[in-house]
Amino acid sequence: MERSPIVIDASVVVKWFVEEEFSREARLMRDSYVNRLIDLAAPSLMPYEVLNALKYSGAFGEDELKDLAIALDDYQIELYELKGDIALKAIEIAMRKGVTIYDAAYIALAQHLRSILYTADERLIRKIGGNYVRHTSQFRV
């Protein structure tokens, strides 16, 4: 039986590269993926959000960001386009819950995959709640 991938948002992936609160849990998720204990998925916008956050963190120069872009691509996380049912669900979530289409895309993908979105975005968790969203600190292998 094929397992559903865990959906992760940019707030989780950024913690792979910078030391922040919950970086340990985010890296445990990454290491579990690298060791093939779990599968990971995200909307195709995730790399843009991650690299943008890393750029504005001020911790990385141009060459380092280029290296991080390559490293991020090397993880080969399964990325999904915002189209079809995922797009329609993202719009519904964004309008009903008062979140951005960006955030809603992650939740819509988790619902589409019948999976869970892990995020470190506590504001998003408060707004959405429900069965599809968990805080990064709750991740267990």
pLDDT of residue 104: 97
pLDDT of residue 1: 45
**Positions of the chain with pLDDT lower than 70, given as ranges:** 1-2
pLDDT of residue 132: 87
pLDDT of residue 3: 77
- What helix, strand, coil percent values describe the chain, rounded to 5? 55, 10, 30
What is the value of pTM for the model shown? 0.92
The Cα 71–Cα 73 span in angstroms is: 5
pLDDT of residue 37: 96
The Cα 55–Cα 21 span in angstroms is: 19
pLDDT of residue 130: 76
Question: Could you give the C-alpha distances from 53 to 33, 101, 139, in angstroms and in order?
Answer: 22, 17, 22
The domain made up of 6-138 has a fold known as: Rossmann fold (3.40.50)
pLDDT of residue 2: 64
